[in-house]
Structure 1
Amino acid sequence: MSARERDWDGVRLHVVTGKGGTGKTTLAASLALALASGGRRVLLVEVEGRQGVAQLFDCPPLPYEERRVAVAPRGGEVHALAVDPEAALLEYLEMFYGLRRAGEVLTRFGVIDFATTIAPGVRDVLLTGKATEAVRRRVRRDRARRDAPGTDAPAPFVYDAVVMDAPPTGRIAQFLNVNAEVAGLARSGPIRNHADRVMEVIRSAETVVHFATLLEEMPAQECLDGIAEVAGAGLNVGGVLVNMVRPPLLDPDTLARAALGETDTAALVQGVKAAGLEHPEEIARGLADELVGHALRVRLESDVRDRLASAGRPRYELPLLTDGVDLAGLYRLAETLRDQGAA
């Protein structure tokens, strides 16, 4: 692994967003593993209710409860939590009003679901609130004193970092800007105070928003638009996570000529004949077409890479896992992120 310093020292909440199909959840899980490596404790929070994290780590569906899902390279742990708005609201009612039993009654009548439907800002406060509470949470003081007697220093945090697998790019600024969402619903009182505490964490230097994308036009444009929107909302933009990157198969000169349609078909025919294959001319023409297509794709990806670089944010490139994403693949992606300084 390289000796490069980590880009996000001091950041404790990593929000990962991206256009659908970019592998956002995979990258969030890989980032959590990378951050936990070396003995740290990281919480991975899922807020969309798809149980994608459980599938990646090959474990049962996650409840509304923090559970360890992986041991990180060189020590460390990844815990995961699937945030359910209904359970989060019950917890909120219990914490601030002591009304958990009343909340359970409301749940049976569907009132909570109705409330979060007509006031989606409340739903987002509950979802983001759980992640930001985990960022602030410290080890109980009696345990801290037992582990480090004779010190009055603040108790250590329960988690060294929290990674949120957030909604897609098109909704991320609205999702995170919970103060604006609840402004028309609650200008004062516990809900507004709760939103203010959430925003203290989200707007702090301890929080950044990372963007997952591909080397393709539409995901890249949505990534750039999302970066501009998040920055415009006063939130901190993190890095660009470029997923499913495929290396060029040929040298630059050959690719440049092929992109112009210049292929040595005669040499291809000779190669096919040397391999003892039938219909060498037909196979050579097919190979030439494939070569031109590959060269054009590489040129397009180079153009997209330049556009992403224009955002001026750290960029990390993750390889395409040709065998699919399994637990071994997550560890490989985590190591790649660490090698590039993301964790």
Structure 2
Amino acid sequence: MPPAAAASSRRSRAAHAEPHWPGVRLHVVTGKGGTGKTTVAAALAVAIATGGRRVLLCEVEGRQGIARLFDVPPLPYEERTVAVAPDGGEVFALPVDAEQALLEYLELFYKLGRAGKALRKLGAVDFATTVAPGLRDVLLTGKAYEAVRRRRKDGAGGERAVYDAVVLDAPPTGRITRFLGVHAEVAGLAKVGPIRGQADSIMDLLRSPQTAVHLVTLLEEMPVQETCDAVEELTAAGLPVGGIVVNMTRPPLLPGPTLEAAARGALDREDVVAGLVASGARAEPHVVDALLAEGRAHAERVALEQAERATLETIGHRTYELPVLADGVDLGGLYALAAALREQGACS
């Protein structure tokens, strides 16, 4: 089956399937730099929110990528609505700031409200988060945990979660396992007390079926290899791997037999000339040569992408594919990607 037909068949089957992550409350999205992980995280948040859910989309790298994607001004350290999902539902966004998170932590556990603010004015907070990179990860993951666990009263006198799901735009694959596992190290250092209890609670969530770590890749050798390595590391650390999102895919431009001929360098020159003439273009020799070379290069790219697909299939996790957007990622494109994820069953 041609690659495009195979992908279409997979999407068609998945469109009628139940969502693949029904019990997941925390969706962690990671990927090698340049694979579009922030875009995928935003699209996933919209997909999950569709139909009336409340979803919080968090970013932890301080790049204001969410604001740019949703075409809103730079976001402060507070939860704000950035999108209304199809059929109801809301996407809230929060760029997690380590300094603010530390002040919250000091107030929550040690009641250092005013003293904490004084420490910030003195530069102690910035100093602490700079000299201890692991502390930043503790605070960032801790904030995501708090958002997942937060409750509010409902109309029936009971309580329910403030957010139906939290999507975390996490650090790249190269450091995702250490980022998510930092509380295990904290638990090893703090034997007793509130810090140990908090660390244990966060690791319990991160290792539970309520969490899924999704990896974003391209059909290129380095991103695919990093994805495979990250899956192995996450699994060894007891962290639940979710789906593999193959981003920016492109269908073959030539039909099967023609593509095979192009790969062998056996395209019929006269057919190319006839095609140029039929289109009203001049069939000059250098143009025909360029088209033949382009056809072979295209066939080689398709073959390489198929080889990377085969590598991803050996991982044994669900795979989703998102198309490259010819006009770039604007708000309309983001909603189109969200719809594609829903059709493939990628949302909870």
Q: TM-score, normalised by structure 2?
A: 0.93
- Work out the CA distance in 2 between the residues paired with 1:16 and 1:171: 13
Choose the corresponding residue for 2:195, options 191, 196, 205.
Answer: 191
Do the aligned partners of 1:177 and 1:233 also contact (CA within 8 Å) in 2? yes
1:166 maps to 2:179: no
Choose the corresponding residue for 1:41, options 34, 54, 67.
Answer: 54
In the TM superposition, residue 326 of structure 1 has moved relative to its aligned partner by 0.6
Do the aligned partners of 1:129 and 1:198 also contact (CA within 8 Å) in 2? yes
In the TM superposition, residue 189 of structure 1 has moved relative to its aligned partner by 2.9
Do the aligned partners of 1:138 and 1:155 also contact (CA within 8 Å) in 2? yes
1:96 maps to 2:106: no
In the TM superposition, residue 180 of structure 1 has moved relative to its aligned partner by 3.4
Q: Runs ≥4 in structure 1, deviation > 4 angstroms?
A: none
- Work out the CA distance in 2 between the residues paired with 1:274 and 1:76: 51
Q: Which sections of structure 1, spanning at least 5 residues, go unmatched?
A: none
In the TM superposition, residue 148 of structure 1 has moved relative to its aligned partner by 1.4
Aligned partner of 1:335 in structure 2 is 339
Choose the corresponding residue for 1:233, options 231, 237, 258.
Answer: 237
Do the aligned partners of 2:28 and 2:167 also contact (CA within 8 Å) in 1? yes
Do the aligned partners of 2:187 and 2:199 also contact (CA within 8 Å) in 1? no
The two structures, once aligned, show a CA RMSD in angstroms of 1.4
Choose the corresponding residue for 1:148, options 150, 156, 163.
Answer: 156
Do the aligned partners of 2:28 and 2:170 also contact (CA within 8 Å) in 1? yes
Q: TM-score, normalised by structure 1?
A: 0.94
Aligned partner of 2:17 in structure 1 is 4
The secondary structure found in structure 2 opposite 1:164 is strand
1:138 maps to 2:151: yes
- Work out the CA distance in 2 between the residues paired with 1:118 and 1:57: 33
In the TM superposition, residue 261 of structure 1 has moved relative to its aligned partner by 1.1
Q: Go from structure 1 to structure 2 and tell me whether the alpha carbon gap of 1:293 and 1:261 turns closer, same or farther (over 3 Å shift).
A: same
- Work out the CA distance in 2 between the residues paired with 1:187 and 1:125: 16
Choose the corresponding residue for 1:262, options 261, 266, 270.
Answer: 266
- Work out the CA distance in 1 between the residues paired with 2:312 and 2:39: 20
- Work out the CA distance in 2 between the residues paired with 1:245 and 1:218: 16
The secondary structure found in structure 2 opposite 1:263 is coil
Do the aligned partners of 1:230 and 1:237 also contact (CA within 8 Å) in 2? yes
- Work out the CA distance in 1 between the residues paired with 2:179 and 2:146: 16
1:206 maps to 2:219: no
Do the aligned partners of 1:135 and 1:162 also contact (CA within 8 Å) in 2? yes
Choose the corresponding residue for 2:161, options 153, 157, 161.
Answer: 157
Choose the corresponding residue for 1:312, options 313, 316, 323.
Answer: 316
Choose the corresponding residue for 1:223, options 215, 220, 227.
Answer: 227
Deviates more, 1:299-308 or 1:93-102: 93-102
In the TM superposition, residue 184 of structure 1 has moved relative to its aligned partner by 6.1
Q: Go from structure 1 to structure 2 and tell me whether the alpha carbon gap of 1:279 and 1:255 turns closer, same or farther (over 3 Å shift).
A: closer
The secondary structure found in structure 2 opposite 1:139 is strand
**Amino acid aligned to 2:298:** H
In the TM superposition, residue 260 of structure 1 has moved relative to its aligned partner by 1.3
In the TM superposition, residue 273 of structure 1 has moved relative to its aligned partner by 2.9
Aligned partner of 2:9 in structure 1 is none
In the TM superposition, residue 98 of structure 1 has moved relative to its aligned partner by 1.4
In the TM superposition, residue 6 of structure 1 has moved relative to its aligned partner by 0.3
**Amino acid aligned to 2:200:** D
- Work out the CA distance in 2 between the residues paired with 1:220 and 1:276: 42
Aligned partner of 1:21 in structure 2 is 34
Do the aligned partners of 1:15 and 1:208 also contact (CA within 8 Å) in 2? yes
Choose the corresponding residue for 1:30, options 43, 51, 63.
Answer: 43
- Work out the CA distance in 2 between the residues paired with 1:80 and 1:123: 19
**Amino acid aligned to 1:148:** A
**Amino acid aligned to 2:293:** D
Q: Which sections of structure 2, spanning at least 5 residues, go unmatched?
A: 1-11
**Amino acid aligned to 1:95:** L
1:252 maps to 2:256: yes
In the TM superposition, residue 305 of structure 1 has moved relative to its aligned partner by 0.5
Choose the corresponding residue for 1:109, options 122, 131, 137.
Answer: 122
In the TM superposition, residue 185 of structure 1 has moved relative to its aligned partner by 4.8
Aligned partner of 1:280 in structure 2 is 284
The secondary structure found in structure 1 opposite 2:273 is helix
**Amino acid aligned to 1:16:** V
In the TM superposition, residue 279 of structure 1 has moved relative to its aligned partner by 4.9
1:300 maps to 2:304: yes
The secondary structure found in structure 1 opposite 2:151 is coil
- Work out the CA distance in 1 between the residues paired with 2:94 and 2:262: 49
Do the aligned partners of 1:16 and 1:24 also contact (CA within 8 Å) in 2? yes
Choose the corresponding residue for 1:181, options 181, 185, 188.
Answer: 185
- Work out the CA distance in 2 between the residues paired with 1:183 and 1:37: 37
Superposed CA deviations along residues 192-238 of structure 1, whole A, max 9, x for unmatched, are 32222211211111001000000111101001111111111000000
**Amino acid aligned to 1:239:** G
In the TM superposition, residue 156 of structure 1 has moved relative to its aligned partner by 1.2
- Work out the CA distance in 2 between the residues paired with 1:195 and 1:258: 57
The secondary structure found in structure 2 opposite 1:17 is strand
**Amino acid aligned to 1:262:** A
- Work out the CA distance in 2 between the residues paired with 1:24 and 1:61: 19
In the TM superposition, residue 254 of structure 1 has moved relative to its aligned partner by 1.2
The secondary structure found in structure 1 opposite 2:30 is strand
